[in-house]
């Protein structure tokens, strides 16, 4: 059921200067996020496809972050970007990943999305183009400004390869401090395949999902590699 006890008014979103991030009130509806000028095309894409206009009108950011299946690709993309959340009564934002893993709990007040400096890539497999992905990988990588441009941070969030709906692969941290190149990416992709713990179902067996974790992680990271 939609949380219509909250105001139906579309809340404004604001872009703060430091740090470069987009702060989104948790009671904003996904449609307002989708339409916001701050929403990059690739993040907007995670709110379309299997996610309809109706769903975006019904679900708030808070609902999407706590009931992950509402907008799973979007949540995965946020994890890859290193998004954080401010919880009610807590001053310091917490990593969204901690909230997803339930290592922190609380009522979300604001979602903070990094808006610059992150290289982003996404790859997925589904039965059809707008089907819920069977497996999907979302990568977010930041590089040091000065040469050699080694990886400063790296996150790979995957859908469809864990007992839970979405999760970050630890193997992505292997990239940190190393140059982002194809060899490195291949190593990480294979490590991700070893790390994941998929549960097979009628859309994809465990073996298939594991192999796709490697393929799609590689593709997502390759997009980061070739992104300017």
Task: Tell which one of 37, 41, 89, 129 touches another protein (CB under 8 A).
Answer: 129
Which of 122, 143 has the CB closer to another protein? 122
d(CA 120, CA 153): 12
DSSP states of 163-210: SSSEEE-GGGGGGBTSB--HHHHHHHHHHHHHH-----BTTB-HHHHH
Angle of helix 182-195 relative to helix 206-225, nearest 10 degrees, comes to 150
Task: Tell which one of 60, 65, 204, 213 touches another protein (CB under 8 A).
Answer: 204
Q: Is residue 20 close enough to count as binding another protein by CB under 8 A?
A: no
Give kind and range of the element (H or E) at residue 73. Answer: helix 72-81
Smallest gap from residue 34 Cβ to another protein (A): 10
Task: Tell which one of 212, 220, 221, 224 touches another protein (CB under 8 A).
Answer: 212
149-168 binders of another protein (CB under 8 A)? none
d(CA 78, CA 221): 16
55-74 binders of another protein (CB under 8 A)? 55, 57-58
Binding site for another protein (CB under 8 A): 1-2, 4-5, 8, 31, 48-49, 52-55, 57-58, 125-132, 134, 201-205, 208, 212, 215-216
């Amino acid at each position: 059921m939609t949380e219509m006890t909250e105001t139906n008014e579309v809340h404004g979103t604001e872009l703060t200067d430091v740090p470069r991030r987009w702060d989104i009130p948790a009671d904003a509806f996904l449609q307002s996020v989708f339409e916001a000028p701050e929403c990059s095309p690739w993040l907007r894409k995670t709110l379309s496809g299997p996610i309809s206009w109706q769903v975006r009108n019904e679900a708030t950011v808070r609902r999407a972050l706590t009931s992950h299946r509402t907008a799973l690709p979007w949540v995965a993309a946020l994890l890859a970007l290193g998004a954080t959340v401010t919880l009610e009564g807590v001053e310091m934002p917490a990593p969204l990943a901690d909230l997803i893993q339930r290592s922190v709990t609380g009522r979300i007040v604001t979602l903070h999305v990094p808006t610059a400096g992150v290289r982003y890539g996404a790859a997925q497999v589904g039965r059809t183009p707008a089907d819920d992905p069977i497996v999907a990988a979302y990568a977010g990588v930041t590089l040091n400004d000065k040469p050699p441009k080694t990886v400063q941070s790296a996150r790979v969030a995957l859908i469809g390869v864990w007992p839970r709906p979405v999760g970050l692969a630890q193997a992505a941290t292997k990239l940190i401090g190393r140059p982002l190149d194809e060899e490195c990416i291949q190593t990480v992709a294979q490590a991700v395949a070893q790390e994941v713990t998929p549960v097979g179902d009628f859309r994809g067996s465990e073996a298939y999902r594991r192999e796709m974790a490697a393929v799609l992680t590689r593709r997502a990271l390759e997009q980061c590699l070739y992104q300017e």
